[in-house]
Amino acid sequence: MNKFSLYTLLILIFLGLSKSFSPSSKRTDHIVNDRVFSSYFKGAPVSVVLLDRFQAGFLIKTYYFHLKIMHVFKSPETVTIRVGKKLWEKHKDNLGMSIFRREERNGKEYLTPMPPGILFVGDPSFGGWEYHASGAKQWKFHRAYRKFPTLFYWGDFRPSYKFYQRSKTYEENQQPFYGLYNEFGSKGEITKLILQSVESKEFTPPSETFLEHVKIYLSTPPWSN
Amino acid sequence: MNELFDKLILQVLFTVLICASLFFYKYAHGVFYPSTRQHFFKRFYPSKNSSDTLHFFSRIIGIGIIFSEFSFNLSTGISLAILDFFAKAIFGFFLYLISLYIVDSIVLYNFEYKDEVLKRKNNAYSIITLAQSIGIAFILKTILKTSETSLVMLIFLWLFSMVLIGFASKTFPLMSKMSFNRLLIQKSLPLSFSYLGFFWGWVLIITSALDHKLISIKWYAIQVVLKILLSLIVLPIFTRGLKIIFRIYDEKDDKKNQELKDDTEINELGYGVYEGALFFTSCFLTIVITNRVFFGTFYPSF
């Protein structure tokens, strides 16, 4: 066996052993495509909101989703998962959107990206339509679910009946719906609230400017304590 | 698997970067030591001149020791990690070459590399420069660690360590019974072994004194000076203790054998090894007392 083969063998052994014992790959779940969502997210009703999507690495990138899993009777949980490149690219415009939902009544599942919380809008168990003086109808959650607009980062937004109807049409056609005025999704105004929140930014690496970094070179400890 | 491949690529890239910085070192060495330029820029034949090989590789070992302290912190991004590495690497090898120049000027002021190594093939000279190259590399490694990311503190600590090693290297006549300049002209290997133990011993004491957290400049300086003073107190006890415990009979200590203090006796390799090893071991034991005695709550403070 020549030296080159030995060297290649050495690299393969190193990669094999690293793969077997690598704590990072064991810690973070890997989801190749969205068909796995169904078995990955348990319970019903459940709505999964994409809080952040980021990539790590130098030449060969690893792709991540930072997700918020919303249950009704449990506190929401946030998870970070590794995803396939195709899935990562697919949800490029869907930041802040619900990318997976499961209904409680019939267990029906949806993979079409929709505004967060849409699963609960129009369901009389969670709220009802309120009439305004103008005659327009607006969704209001029951008292028990009054925190939902905050949990879904709606801010002052409340869905109108028109919004609800349009969302249903898009869902039936399996087309992503970003709101009547594109207020949701990566470019949406309401989603920017999510991007500004601490929760979605916790995995973003700290940014440091060049000058800030160079200042460290000139730092000195105090003369005395 | 993506992450593992990517990590491996990055590690190979950093290996190449280290090699690139060694390339810069080669040129910097040529600037500081014009007489060695021909070895660094032309093909080197290790078996041609043993003393030159010793001298040449001592500088390479030294830079290897210094580089072993460097790190790549990718938390702030790859470009800043590379910037950090190059900033420290360039400062590191410039300070290393200046340090070698200073110590050479203090210890080997009567000798020239060209005469001793290239013409006379003086192995003793080469072993002494090897001791200095490796010793100074260890000191620089320690101050690189202590200064962390601050280049200002690196320069301050370097100046401080240069003062310490400068004074320390002048104490050779106190420790050894060998005449440095006279025996070095005679290419005395015992002298070189004695000096090797002496210099590395001092390096141990200085690095152990410098190696603690730099929280405030004043207290750091006080602690270093106190540790060196304590070392000076403890060191003779260990030297004497080792001689008594292992029943080492030094003929030069015997007043009856004063006449034996001639070159034939002192030029025995064993004597140089004895002097160097005794001092080196004593220094190792001394740093246990200066660095490894933890009082904890033995003396409670209120």
Amino acid making up residue B184: L
User: Using one digit for the tens of pLDDT, what is the confidence trace for A135-192?
Assistant: 788 888 889 888 888 888 888 888 899 989 999 999 889 899 998 888 888 888 888 7
Query: Does the residue A32 lie in any domain?
Result: yes
User: Using one digit for the tens of pLDDT, what is the confidence trace for B48-98?
Assistant: 889 999 998 999 999 999 999 988 888 888 888 899 898 888 899 899 999
Of B3, B218, B220, the CB nearest to A24: B3
Query: Does the residue A173 lie in any domain?
Result: yes
User: Using one digit for the tens of pLDDT, what is the confidence trace for B112-121?
Assistant: 888 898 899 9
Task: Residue A132: give the domain boundaries.
Answer: 25-202
Task: Pull the structure tokens for residue A60.
Answer: 């060969």
Find the range with the poorest average confidence among A154-158, B16-20, B106-110.
A154-158
Asked whether the beta carbons of residue B149 and residue A216 sit closer than 8 angstroms, the reply is: yes
User: Using one digit for the tens of pLDDT, what is the confidence trace for B129-182?
Assistant: 999 999 999 999 999 999 988 899 999 999 999 999 999 999 999 889 888 999
Residue B252, pLDDT above cutoff 80: no
Query: Does the residue A190 lie in any domain?
Result: yes
Distance CA B72, CA B67 (A): 12
Asked whether the beta carbons of residue B4 and residue A218 sit closer than 8 angstroms, the reply is: no
Query: Does the residue A3 lie in any domain?
Result: no
Task: Pull the structure tokens for residue B128.
Answer: 């002494």
Distance CA B89, CA B81 (A): 12
Amino acid making up residue B77: G
Residue B16 at interface with chain A, using a CB cutoff of 8 Å: no
The whole-number pLDDT of residue B262 equals: 53
Query: Does the residue A222 lie in any domain?
Result: no
Q: For the whole model, what pTM was predicted?
A: 0.81
Asked whether the beta carbons of residue B6 and residue A62 sit closer than 8 angstroms, the reply is: yes
Of A14, A57, A224, the CB nearest to B218: A224
Number of domains forming the structure of chain A = 1
Residue A209 at interface with chain B, using a CB cutoff of 8 Å: no
Query: B152 vs A53, A154, A219, B72, B157, CA distance in Å?
Result: 40, 50, 7, 20, 9
Query: Does the residue A84 lie in any domain?
Result: yes
Residue A211 at interface with chain B, using a CB cutoff of 8 Å: no
Asked whether the beta carbons of residue B217 and residue A14 sit closer than 8 angstroms, the reply is: no
Find the range with the poorest average confidence among A123-132, B47-56, B291-300.
B291-300
Kindly state the DSSP code that residue A144 receives in the 8-state scheme: G
Asked whether the beta carbons of residue A213 and residue B76 sit closer than 8 angstroms, the reply is: yes
Residue B198, pLDDT above cutoff 80: yes
Query: Does the residue A156 lie in any domain?
Result: yes
Residue B209 at interface with chain A, using a CB cutoff of 8 Å: no
Q: Which single residue is written with the structure tokens 């320069």?
A: B155
